[in-house]
Structure 1
Amino acid sequence: MSDFRFSRRGFLHRFSILGLSGSFALKHALALSTDDESATKAANKVVKNRAPLAPNAFYFLPLGSVRPSGWLKNQLEIQASGLGGHLDETWADVGPNSGWLGGKGESWERGPYFLDGLVPLAWTLNDQRLQAKAHRFIDWTLKNQAANGMIGPASNNDWWPRYVMLKALTQYQEYTSDPRVIPLMDRYFRYQLGELPKRPLRDWGKFRWQDELLSVLWLYNRTGSAYLLDLARMLRSQGYDWVAEFADFKYTQRITRDFIKLDEDHGLRDISLATHGVNNGQAIKTGPVWSVVSGDRNDAAAASRMISELDKYHGLPNGMFSCDEHLAGLDPSQGSELCTVVEYMFSLENSLAITGEAALGDRLEKLAFNALPGTFTDDMWAHQYNQQPNQVECSLHHKPWTTDGPESNLFGLEPNFGCCTANFHQGWPKLVNSLFMLSSSGVSDAGDGIVAAVYAPCEVRTVLRQTPLHIVEETGYPFNGKIRITVNPASPLAFPLHLRIPAWATGATVQVNGQSQPQPTPGAFARIERTWRPGDRVEIAFPMKPRVSRWFNDSVAVERGPLLFSYGIGETWVKLADRGMTADWQVFPSTQWNYALRVDTDDPSSSIEVHETAVEDNVFSEKHAPVRLRVNARKVPSWRAEDGVADAVPKSPVSSTEPDEKIDMLPYAAAKLRISAFPLVKSE
């Protein structure tokens, strides 16, 4: 195998990317899983951390235990009908000539990225067509392991893309119990342990080591092989020390190309990789994941410290930090890369499970219900590389990006760079698997319970202390605050049910079978311990009063529950080019957008009208948005755009002699052109 270095931008120039051609004869007859078969697979016992690993606060339920319903299932179905389910048919990088199918095409991260989202999407939806697509990549990898244990295309030996393939394989094994996966991983990890002293981590692999650590610990918990803990320590010793970086965070300003010397060493200097958005999104889980090995509570707390520092210097109203593609400061006209959104979500899901910190669930919801859908077209046939909270035009301009190119906020097949095209698919299906978790007593299974970690319509089938348990969650959340959870054990069963109470949910109420429970504490988990019987109902009511939060230049954003609201600018869509089954689009404003809000920041509800409608399908579209706000505003003529980018938000408060207007605000993701951070009108 040849040894080589490359940047993400330079990779495609080093390989010949051939056109999509030919077809595959399936080697497996795949039967669509029935509900009973799915329930049987889901009944597999939760695999907890083996000694000497520290226990998690929570554990993910076996994959397949949680199934989406309502609007959430609709989002996965839209994804399956869009690029998520057809990408290999229209994009050569994951098509029949992919190096991860034995071809001579793209052989680095894109095949594994695609599979990492395709597997949970296919099995969550019980979609036979998508499962067949996933099997092509999985079977090639499982059947073509080298004699020395290496996996993947022989055209490169970079450790990094194997991290992603291992993530996909662990998910696939949990869904199917395929007996080939664990032996392959064992051979690969033994090979890697012997190779790392001679060929240590570097570049992307050095900065993303925590992603492989998850797979190493996954295998250790199933086999108990001691060498895996040696491998875990070697990964940490060779990997970048993210915890130390954020203990003394130095990257507090907008990063420039010159500052990180991006044009030297293929953009792979440590300072470039340390300030890279996706690396930071993946890094947030580093401390918690390593704490499972170290047992150090300071490591476990590192995720919250990292989030706090990123918020302080680069935070945006949609829950993201700016990264277009490197850290970019607080201006809401800066963007965030889609890969960072889904990797940040994955980090939060794992960190929440390990630490049990409720605030991580709050942030996960904010990303999932704003930043994730906010970067797709309604049909998910096109996406952006970068999204902006203040996004007044999507066109071919170099501004405002720190290190990205002029296609960055276009909607299309692979704007700017194709990593997000392959990687965005993991967002929704992995969220489904994180909705409910198992709480662990840390001593024996007798104290285990169920955790409602994130709220969305779904149902759960699992087994708790040998008793089948069926849970149904019915809700229009996050568009309204009513949640009903029906608990159906096969026979009476005593266990604690933990309900995450968001930090914003002051005044939340909880009832069980119509009887009020103690007032829950915002920003914590409410615990209900009782003997549950079939048909028991838990009803949660979260107050959904509008809130005003402060951002860059004392600007204001309007929030309600986990949703951010934006002024939706009129949109004119102009096709730039056809791209196989999809197209690339520019979007130009057709209405003015330069408003300042007139709201009572001390009592926002007194000056903001709320209008709710039924929660149906395609909830993140302008047409079907289930909730809208109406606020008073005035135009600020001096606030303009240059080269398609809104100038920095004028510092609040601002004076305006323009007449008062009533403007409508939509959930952030429903407005493809939008203002989300506004100046505040000076009191008269």
Structure 2
Amino acid sequence: MTTTELSLPPALTQVQLHDAFWSPRLEANRAHTLPTLHRKLVEVGALDAFDLPAYAERGLTIPKTHHVTPQMWWDSDVAKWIEAASASLVTHPDAALDAQIDDTIARMVRAQQQDGYLNTYFTAIEPERKLTNERDWHELYNAGHLIEAAVTHHRSTGKTSLLDVVERYVRFLSGVYGTGEGQRPGYPGHEEIELALLRLYHATGRREHLDFARYFLNQRGQTPNYFETEALARGDDPQEFWAGTYEYMQAHVPVREQSQVVGHAVRAMYLYAAMADLAAADGDPQLRTACERLWNDLTRHSLYVTGGLGPSASNEGMTRPYDLPNDTAYAETCAAVGLAFWARRMAALTGEGRYADVMERALYNNVLSGVSLGGDHFLYENPLESDGTHRRWAWHACPCCPPNVARLLASLGEYVYAVSAREVTVNLYAGSTLQAEVGGRALTLTQEGMYPWRGDIHLSMTLDAPATFTVRLRIPAWAQGATLNVNGEAVAVTPQQGYAVVTREWSAGDTIDLMLPLVPRRTYAHPAVRQDAGLVALEYGPLVYCVEGLDQRADLHALSLPRDSALDARFDPDLLGGVTVIEGAAVIDTAATADLYSGSPPTTRPALLRAIPYAVWDNREPTPMRVWLRERVG
């Protein structure tokens, strides 16, 4: 597939979702998450913080009514809220929400300095330290989120108010950073601006944004390492770097030489997403190869079954291959969001369904776990085992995850399909309507079904005239025995790069029926994953399942599932908003004696195992939870 044939996500305005699974989540995001985020940003002072730079720039004393000390990352949280709220306006016009966005942007306009710089913390609190520590601080990271918010706001509303702000900011930054005379050869410690600049390039067509993104990516990890030069310039000893290694921010070697996913997981995902974008934009085979190499390392050695990544809290990221603890899993929500970003770009870059498979895994499991069904409580870490004390919170000192999930859910329509001049690719199965020009004709493609609870998917077409083009339908790796009909006639399913491919002349009224077999299935970890030795996980379609103590009435570590136990799936409309549960005969160990240790093995009693989707755990009262279950053999 050449770069001119890449299938790209449709615009938000081209996709309408009306899906039984996703619509309640999207409505909770719109009706509850967005207002909750705005209210919390007001309460902590993150919005008022944008008023402070105006006082500082004019040399005025901050009024006593402003008892706000901005955090270094607050600007990014506000930007992500703008992005999510702007995307929501596409499907649900809301004058009050639009006014809130406009008010926030007006504050940003007033906060921006004459030279284009915009950062509440370093303008109002420590202006003398501006742009002196990109290794540890978040100026370029914040700038990246402001850019992404501006792109989505412009595309959603047609307004340029925030786009004008970030264009000025980027002009300032591109004067500071670069390889020219008087410039600093620097780049961010926390990646984000790279993928943001690529989005800005695609939105505006201005090649200077592409060039700036390319500079940041090419400069990363070069020798001498910029972070050492920067540390010396501010009078610090580079050897006293608190993280101990530049692997923490993926700056240990140039990006095209990287082969293992290391360091902070969110930073890594943002970096790799940008690398995939740039590989597509430049047709860069070395960058593509690096992305594929890193992808293989992650999915073969370090990805949780839930689509989470980053087992360690100490670095919010990676440790070593096959180290996947369950009860202490960090698996940050933002990292799963970032994985979805990267996976979507890799699917577009390569045309391979395996990337969309992982995108789906992350979306249906680790991403959704990060927000409650009600949309107003959140998880930062997403363990695969809990004693019942790990609960969702209403807010966090570093609330990066809630607005990250919010912006992803609000833009979910961009993940369902991909479109080129001659192809329509269906990456996710969700009730929706796509409007696009394909094969030179206006196409309306309507998708219906009850996925992931049922595997029968129906697509119908409306065309203004017959047209010849290709429809690519992802066949998940787990969907053995999938069947396909076009206009009621069977078509052989012989996946090409993970997709069933149908090329023909299509006409109005044509239909496609895809059946993906949905049955409970057992999943086993690689033997090198010591934490999962002797354990089994349950899956159903794209969903990973867990057991909660509320349903078992026993200690979950005493529960075991016989390998030959039959598993049944049934839909329970009254449980957790309506979910399919998996049930089967299980066994519970009970003590043979009252002694702490005994020479007698435990006795057993039969029990009914009842598993629910991991995405909806911790939506009832506090209770233990496990994804990986003991398996009884023989």
Give the structure-1-normalised TM-score: 0.72
Return closer, same or farther for 1:595/1:483 CA change in 2, 3 Å cut-off. farther
Could you tell me which amino acid in structure 2 is paired with residue 555 of structure 1?
L
Return closer, same or farther for 1:113/1:268 CA change in 2, 3 Å cut-off. farther
CA distance in 1, matches of 2:304, 2:617: 16
Q: State the partner residue of 2:415.
A: 434
Return closer, same or farther for 1:175/1:283 CA change in 2, 3 Å cut-off. same
Q: State the partner residue of 1:567.
A: 547
| Residue 544 (structure 2) pairs with residue 598 (structure 1) | no
Return closer, same or farther for 1:358/1:312 CA change in 2, 3 Å cut-off. closer
| Residue 433 (structure 2) pairs with residue 459 (structure 1) | yes
Return closer, same or farther for 1:550/1:372 CA change in 2, 3 Å cut-off. same
Q: State the partner residue of 1:607.
A: 566
The farther-off stretch of 77-86 and 539-548 is 77-86
**3-state DSSP class of the match of 1:470?**
strand
How far the C-alpha of 1:185 sits from its partner, in A, is 4.8
Return closer, same or farther for 1:209/1:301 CA change in 2, 3 Å cut-off. farther
Q: State the partner residue of 1:172.
A: 153
Contact 2:561 2:586 in 1 (8 A): yes
The farther-off stretch of 355-364 and 461-470 is 461-470
Q: State the partner residue of 1:212.
A: 196
Gaps of 5+ in 2: 55-67, 125-129, 132-138, 223-238, 251-262, 526-531, 592-600, 619-623
CA distance in 1, matches of 2:484, 2:563: 30
Contact 1:76 1:121 in 2 (8 A): no
1:60 to 9, 20, 25: 9
CA distance in 2, matches of 1:230, 1:273: 22
1:327 to 318, 323, 336: 318
Could you tell me which amino acid in structure 2 is paired with residue 124 of structure 1?
T
Output one character per residue of 1:256-313: Cα deviation in whole Å (capped at 9) or x when no partner.
xxxxxxx965659624334112112323324322312542334224444323323444
CA distance in 2, matches of 1:131, 1:348: 31
CA distance in 1, matches of 2:105, 2:557: 50
2:476 to 498, 502, 523: 502
Question: 1:375-394 residue pairs with structure 2 within 5 A?
Answer: 375-394=370-389
Return closer, same or farther for 1:496/1:128 CA change in 2, 3 Å cut-off. farther
CA distance in 1, matches of 2:603, 2:497: 41
How far the C-alpha of 1:105 sits from its partner, in A, is 5.5
Return closer, same or farther for 1:498/1:656 CA change in 2, 3 Å cut-off. farther
Could you tell me which amino acid in structure 2 is paired with residue 175 of structure 1?
S
**3-state DSSP class of the match of 1:285?**
helix
1:630 to 583, 591, 596: 583
| Residue 487 (structure 2) pairs with residue 492 (structure 1) | no
| Residue 44 (structure 2) pairs with residue 83 (structure 1) | no
Could you tell me which amino acid in structure 2 is paired with residue 148 of structure 1?
D
Output one character per residue of 1:175-205: Cα deviation in whole Å (capped at 9) or x when no partner.
2333556655544433322210334445534
2:399 to 418, 431, 435: 418
How far the C-alpha of 1:214 sits from its partner, in A, is 2.1
The farther-off stretch of 210-219 and 163-172 is 210-219
Q: State the partner residue of 1:314.
A: 302
CA distance in 2, matches of 1:338, 1:359: 21
Give the structure-2-normalised TM-score: 0.78
Contact 1:498 1:525 in 2 (8 A): yes
How far the C-alpha of 1:511 sits from its partner, in A, is 1.0
Q: State the partner residue of 1:237.
A: 218
| Residue 535 (structure 2) pairs with residue 555 (structure 1) | yes
Identity level (%)? 18
How far the C-alpha of 1:500 sits from its partner, in A, is 1.0
CA distance in 2, matches of 1:591, 1:118: 43
The farther-off stretch of 263-272 and 368-377 is 263-272
Contact 2:344 2:415 in 1 (8 A): yes
| Residue 86 (structure 2) pairs with residue 119 (structure 1) | yes
1:270 to 239, 246, 253: 246
Contact 1:634 1:656 in 2 (8 A): no
Contact 2:197 2:209 in 1 (8 A): no
| Residue 281 (structure 2) pairs with residue 281 (structure 1) | no
Output one character per residue of 1:416-468: Cα deviation in whole Å (capped at 9) or x when no partner.
632223333123123222111103xxxxx4xx221111111111223346643
Gaps of 5+ in 1: 1-48, 242-262, 395-408, 440-444, 572-588, 615-620, 639-654
CA distance in 1, matches of 2:553, 2:396: 23
| Residue 630 (structure 2) pairs with residue 679 (structure 1) | yes
Output one character per residue of 1:593-621: Cα deviation in whole Å (capped at 9) or x when no partner.
124443447xxxx721121356xxxxxx9
**3-state DSSP class of the match of 1:529?**
strand
CA distance in 2, matches of 1:523, 1:332: 32
Return closer, same or farther for 1:266/1:108 CA change in 2, 3 Å cut-off. farther
CA distance in 2, matches of 1:188, 1:535: 50
Q: State the partner residue of 1:479.
A: 453
CA distance in 1, matches of 2:48, 2:165: 23
Q: State the partner residue of 2:140.
A: 159
Output one character per residue of 1:302-333: Cα deviation in whole Å (capped at 9) or x when no partner.
44432332344433221212343232531222
CA distance in 2, matches of 1:133, 1:377: 24
Return closer, same or farther for 1:426/1:179 CA change in 2, 3 Å cut-off. closer
Output one character per residue of 1:70-92: Cα deviation in whole Å (capped at 9) or x when no partner.
33222111112223233222343
How far the C-alpha of 1:151 sits from its partner, in A, is 4.2
Q: How many residues align?
A: 545
**3-state DSSP class of the match of 1:129?**
helix
Return closer, same or farther for 1:112/1:185 CA change in 2, 3 Å cut-off. closer
Contact 1:595 1:678 in 2 (8 A): no
Contact 1:288 1:301 in 2 (8 A): no
**3-state DSSP class of the match of 2:280?**
helix
How far the C-alpha of 1:384 sits from its partner, in A, is 1.4
CA distance in 2, matches of 1:656, 1:81: 50
**3-state DSSP class of the match of 2:470?**
strand
Question: 1:297-312 residue pairs with structure 2 within 5 A?
Answer: 297-312=285-300
| Residue 23 (structure 2) pairs with residue 73 (structure 1) | yes
**3-state DSSP class of the match of 1:70?**
coil
Question: 1:612-623 residue pairs with structure 2 within 5 A?
Answer: 612=571, 622-623=575-576
